Amino acid sequence: MESAIRERVEHWFAKRGNGEGEEANGAASSASDEEMMKAAGEEMVELILDGRQFKSVSHEASDLLQKLQVLGKFTCNQTGLHSVEGFPVMPSVKTLELTDNHISGGLEALVKSFPNLKRLQLGGNYFRTFEVLEPL
Protein backbone atom coordinates (compact mmCIF):
# COMPACT_ATOMS: atom_id res chain seq x y z
CA MET A 1 0.00 0.00 0.00
CA GLU A 2 2.82 2.41 0.83
CA SER A 3 4.29 2.09 -2.66
CA ALA A 4 0.87 2.85 -4.17
CA ILE A 5 0.54 5.94 -1.97
CA ARG A 6 4.01 7.17 -2.90
CA GLU A 7 3.33 6.57 -6.60
CA ARG A 8 0.04 8.51 -6.50
CA VAL A 9 1.66 11.37 -4.56
CA GLU A 10 4.50 11.51 -7.07
CA HIS A 11 2.01 11.55 -9.96
CA TRP A 12 -0.03 14.30 -8.24
CA PHE A 13 3.12 16.31 -7.56
CA ALA A 14 4.21 16.09 -11.19
CA LYS A 15 0.80 17.27 -12.41
CA ARG A 16 0.79 20.06 -9.85
CA GLY A 17 4.16 21.26 -11.15
CA ASN A 18 2.87 23.04 -14.23
CA GLY A 19 -0.68 23.73 -13.13
CA GLU A 20 -2.18 22.36 -16.36
CA GLY A 21 -2.64 18.72 -15.44
CA GLU A 22 0.25 17.61 -17.63
CA GLU A 23 3.33 16.17 -16.06
CA ALA A 24 6.04 18.74 -15.58
CA ASN A 25 9.44 17.74 -16.90
CA GLY A 26 11.33 16.32 -13.96
CA ALA A 27 9.22 18.07 -11.31
CA ALA A 28 8.68 14.91 -9.29
CA SER A 29 12.14 13.50 -9.91
CA SER A 30 13.87 16.67 -8.70
CA ALA A 31 11.84 16.82 -5.49
CA SER A 32 12.59 14.62 -2.51
CA ASP A 33 10.04 12.20 -1.08
CA GLU A 34 9.81 14.46 1.94
CA GLU A 35 9.08 17.55 -0.19
CA MET A 36 6.40 15.74 -2.16
CA MET A 37 4.70 14.37 0.97
CA LYS A 38 4.79 17.80 2.63
CA ALA A 39 3.14 19.42 -0.40
CA ALA A 40 0.60 16.60 -0.69
CA GLY A 41 -0.19 16.86 3.01
CA GLU A 42 -1.12 20.51 2.57
CA GLU A 43 -2.84 20.38 -0.83
CA MET A 44 -3.84 16.89 -2.03
CA VAL A 45 -7.62 16.45 -1.72
CA GLU A 46 -8.13 13.08 -3.42
CA LEU A 47 -6.26 9.77 -3.23
CA ILE A 48 -7.36 6.92 -5.48
CA LEU A 49 -5.68 3.55 -4.93
CA ASP A 50 -8.26 1.50 -6.86
CA GLY A 51 -7.01 -1.74 -8.33
CA ARG A 52 -3.72 -1.75 -6.42
CA GLN A 53 -3.22 -4.96 -4.46
CA PHE A 54 -2.82 -4.90 -0.67
CA LYS A 55 -4.55 -6.83 2.10
CA SER A 56 -4.00 -4.55 5.05
CA VAL A 57 -2.77 -1.14 6.15
CA SER A 58 0.86 -1.31 7.28
CA HIS A 59 2.39 1.05 9.85
CA GLU A 60 4.35 2.77 7.08
CA ALA A 61 1.19 3.25 4.99
CA SER A 62 -0.64 4.59 8.04
CA ASP A 63 2.16 7.10 8.66
CA LEU A 64 1.99 8.28 5.04
CA LEU A 65 -1.80 8.60 5.12
CA GLN A 66 -1.69 10.59 8.33
CA LYS A 67 0.38 13.25 6.57
CA LEU A 68 -2.43 13.93 4.08
CA GLN A 69 -4.19 16.55 6.20
CA VAL A 70 -6.67 17.93 3.64
CA LEU A 71 -7.65 14.70 1.90
CA GLY A 72 -11.39 14.78 1.25
CA LYS A 73 -11.85 11.67 -0.90
CA PHE A 74 -10.06 8.36 -0.39
CA THR A 75 -10.78 5.27 -2.49
CA CYS A 76 -9.45 1.73 -2.19
CA ASN A 77 -11.82 -0.18 -4.46
CA GLN A 78 -10.86 -3.66 -5.70
CA THR A 79 -7.61 -3.79 -3.73
CA GLY A 80 -8.08 -7.10 -1.93
CA LEU A 81 -8.25 -5.32 1.43
CA HIS A 82 -9.16 -7.76 4.23
CA SER A 83 -9.18 -5.40 7.19
CA VAL A 84 -9.89 -1.74 7.88
CA GLU A 85 -7.77 -1.81 11.02
CA GLY A 86 -4.62 0.25 10.79
CA PHE A 87 -5.99 3.36 9.11
CA PRO A 88 -4.90 6.50 10.98
CA VAL A 89 -7.40 9.09 12.18
CA MET A 90 -8.24 11.11 9.07
CA PRO A 91 -10.83 13.75 10.04
CA SER A 92 -10.70 15.56 6.69
CA VAL A 93 -11.95 12.54 4.71
CA LYS A 94 -15.62 12.98 3.80
CA THR A 95 -15.87 10.27 1.10
CA LEU A 96 -14.47 6.77 1.56
CA GLU A 97 -14.87 4.00 -1.00
CA LEU A 98 -13.93 0.41 -0.12
CA THR A 99 -16.02 -1.57 -2.61
CA ASP A 100 -15.23 -5.03 -3.95
CA ASN A 101 -12.72 -6.05 -1.29
CA HIS A 102 -12.58 -8.90 1.24
CA ILE A 103 -13.73 -6.97 4.32
CA SER A 104 -15.99 -9.00 6.61
CA GLY A 105 -16.03 -7.07 9.88
CA GLY A 106 -14.13 -4.76 12.19
CA LEU A 107 -16.03 -1.69 11.03
CA GLU A 108 -15.69 0.02 14.41
CA ALA A 109 -12.20 0.95 13.21
CA LEU A 110 -13.78 3.02 10.41
CA VAL A 111 -15.79 5.04 12.92
CA LYS A 112 -12.60 5.92 14.81
CA SER A 113 -10.42 6.57 11.77
CA PHE A 114 -12.92 8.55 9.70
CA PRO A 115 -15.07 10.52 12.17
CA ASN A 116 -16.44 13.01 9.63
CA LEU A 117 -17.54 10.71 6.81
CA LYS A 118 -20.50 11.83 4.76
CA ARG A 119 -20.33 9.07 2.14
CA LEU A 120 -19.19 5.48 2.62
CA GLN A 121 -19.29 2.76 -0.04
CA LEU A 122 -18.80 -0.84 1.12
CA GLY A 123 -20.60 -2.87 -1.56
CA GLY A 124 -19.09 -6.12 -2.76
CA ASN A 125 -17.48 -7.11 0.53
CA TYR A 126 -18.09 -10.23 2.65
CA PHE A 127 -20.59 -9.13 5.30
CA ARG A 128 -22.60 -12.17 6.44
CA THR A 129 -25.09 -10.40 8.72
CA PHE A 130 -26.49 -6.92 9.22
CA GLU A 131 -25.09 -6.92 12.76
CA VAL A 132 -21.60 -6.47 11.29
CA LEU A 133 -22.74 -3.03 10.11
CA GLU A 134 -23.98 -1.89 13.55
CA PRO A 135 -20.84 0.12 14.45
CA LEU A 136 -21.62 2.44 11.55
Give bridge partners of residue 119 from the DSSP assignment: 95
Residue 27: band (very low, low, confident or very high) from pLDDT cuts 50, 70, 90: low
Report the first-to-last Cα separation within the chain, whole angstroms: 25
Q: CA distances (Å), 23 to each of 8, 10, 45, 47, in order?
A: 13, 10, 18, 17
pLDDT in tens, 29-48: 567 889 999 999 999 999 99
Q: What is the pLDDT of residue 29?
A: 58
pLDDT at 53: 96
Domains of the chain, start order: 2-133 (3.80.10.10)
Residues 6+ apart with CB under 8 A from 56: 1, 81, 82, 83, 85, 86
Q: Which whole number is the average pLDDT over 15-30?
A: 57
- Of the pLDDT bands very low, low, confident and very high (cuts 50, 70, 90), residue 132 is confident
97 contacts: CB under 8 Å, gap ≥ 6? 50, 73, 74, 75, 76, 77, 120, 121
